[in-house]
Amino acid sequence: MRCQYSTGRLLGEGTYATIKEAFNIETGEAYACKIINKELVEGREYMVKNEIGILNRLSNGHPNIVTLHDYFESSNNLYLCFDLCTGGDLFQRISSKGTYSEAAAAAVVRTIVDALQYIHASGIVHGDLKPENVLFHTEDDDADIRIADFGLSRLVGEKARQLTSKTGTPAYMAPETLGEEGHGKPVDIWAVGVITFSMLAGHAPFHRSSRRKEEQAIIARDVPFEPEEWVNLSSAAREFVEACLVLDPLGRPTVDELLNHKWLASYGLDSFHPRDDDSADLTPRVRDALSKQSVDSYGARNEQTSRSNELEQMRDHENQTPRPLHKSDPN
């Protein structure tokens, strides 16, 4: 099979894969290509097939969800070609702007929730929503947001068994994922609350000095609404965060209910642009948050959590036989 792509600069690295810029040799179209070493995922090829299946279900269905354009394999690697997003992730983008306001934050959150509505309507739990997985397609001021990294996503219908694996990025994980009980779509609502809090307050609500203390804070819902951080923000913004961060998953709003929340209804229809009102400038807070985190625009995941998830998948799929990947036609 003649290779249809040439690779360029390195965009990111994870435990099992690297992300490189790739170009279709015939068209010149640029993509982000996830290159997965077969040796590193031997016996777990079904994980890649799961991601492909999820993205085939979602691709081209919503403008704010990353599209899987092609996938294929060589003797050594598996390849997945996605939209090339060059505008940075959510926190990088905000930090690069001169100023931004609560209204701009609400506009971003509304876009995320709108995309999440499509994901949930497709019977899918994203499972790893975080600022690093909210990408901007280009560097243009009016660039679209793209929700990315569906490596931990799962199909879960209303009557299907709930997920039981401990998945996600620790700071954004819902309390039910830390216990033995099952979990589903509400974990994404919790993550929306954490993202929104982080955008408005400038730090993640459950960040602590150790993983154990972080988990304890999540289970206790120990959310630090410091007065000096929220004094210049609307009460609706805090109410939105509090609604997302309800301990009982059944007590959290659905994506449809979030879209109708008064905070998004009041603020969320504006565009993401430099501040032009009298509300507080939130940019310094986000710059401070960005300086405290390790950034990977293509969603490098916490290795310990990912491995825990993989072990459960291995038990669920131990009898499956890998089949070749071949969307691209041989030339």
How is 163-216 classified by DSSP, letter by letter? B-S--S-GGG--GGGGSSS-B-THHHHHHHHHHHHHHHHSS-TT--SSHHHHHH
Q: Look up residue 272 and give its two tokens.
A: 């993401």
Mean pLDDT of the residues in the chain: 81
Give the residue with greater pLDDT, 281 vs 2.
Answer: 281
**Mean pLDDT, residues 159-166:** 49
Alpha helices in the chain (DSSP H): 45-58, 90-96, 102-121, 186-201, 211-220, 227-230, 235-244, 255-259, 262-267, 283-291, 303-317
pTM of whole model > 0.75? yes
d(CA 37, CA 75): 10
* Percentage of the chain modeled with pLDDT above 70: 75
pLDDT tier, 71 (very low <50, low <70, confident <90, very high otherwise): very high
| 282-310: burial string, b at 16+ Cβ within 10 Å, e else | bbebbeebbeebeebbbbbbbeebbeebb
More reliable by pLDDT, 53 or 181: 53
What pLDDT shows up at residue 310? 40
Evaluate if residue 69 carries a pLDDT over 50: yes
Most confident residue range from 41-50, 83-92, 223-232, 247-256: 247-256
CA-closest candidate to residue 113, choices 127, 129, 100, 102: 129
Question: Would you report the helix, strand and coil content of the chain in percent, each value rounded to 5?
Answer: 40, 15, 45
* 257/222 Cα distance (integer angstroms): 24
Mean pLDDT of 55-80: 93
Query: Average pLDDT in the 10-14 region?
Result: 88
The pLDDT of residue 191:
97
Question: 32: closest CA among 45, 52, 42, 18?
Answer: 18
Per-residue confidence (pLDDT) for residue 141, from 0 to 100: 82
- Range with the lowest mean pLDDT among 77-81, 183-187, 310-314? 310-314
pLDDT of res. 194: 96
For residues 200 and 233, the answer to whether their CB atoms sit within 8 Å is yes
How sure is the predictor about 179, in pLDDT bands with cuts at 50, 70 and 90? confident
Three-class SS state of 306: helix
With H, G, I as helix, E, B as strand and everything else as coil, classify residue 125.
Answer: strand
Query: What does residue 201 show for φ and ψ, rounded to 5 degrees?
Result: -95, -20
Ligand-binding annotation for 34, yes or no, is: yes
In this predicted model, what pLDDT tens digit does every residue of 214-252 receive, in sequence order? Answer: 999 999 999 999 998 899 899 999 999 999 999 999 999
Most confident range (mean pLDDT) of 66-75, 264-273, 307-316 is: 66-75
Q: How confident is the model at residue 319 (pLDDT cuts 50, 70, 90)?
A: very low
Confidence grade of residue 128 (pLDDT, cut at 50, 70, 90): very high
Element housing 10 (H / E): strand 5-13
Q: How far apart are the first and last CA of the chain?
A: 6
The one catalytic residue in 89, 128, 149, 188 is 128
From 135, 122, 125, 150, select the one nearest 55 (Cα to Cα): 150
For 22-43, the pLDDT digits (tens) are: 999 999 999 999 999 999 988 8
Is residue 128 part of the annotated active site? The answer reads yes
**Rounded-to-integer distance, Cα 31 and Cα 21, Å:** 6
Q: Tell me the mean pLDDT in the region 75-91.
A: 93
Is the model more confident about 207 or about 98?
207
Number of Cβ atoms within 10 Å of the Cβ of 8: 13
Domains and CATH numbers, the chain: 6-84 (3.30.200.20), 90-309 (1.10.510.10)
Confidence at residue 46, expressed as pLDDT on a 0 to 100 scale:
81
Alpha-carbon distance of 124 to 120, in angstroms, equals 5
How far is Cα 304 from Cα 147, in angstroms, rounded to an integer? 23
Question: Average pLDDT of 95-116?
Answer: 87
> Which of 60-74, 90-104, 177-191, 311-325 tops mean pLDDT?
60-74
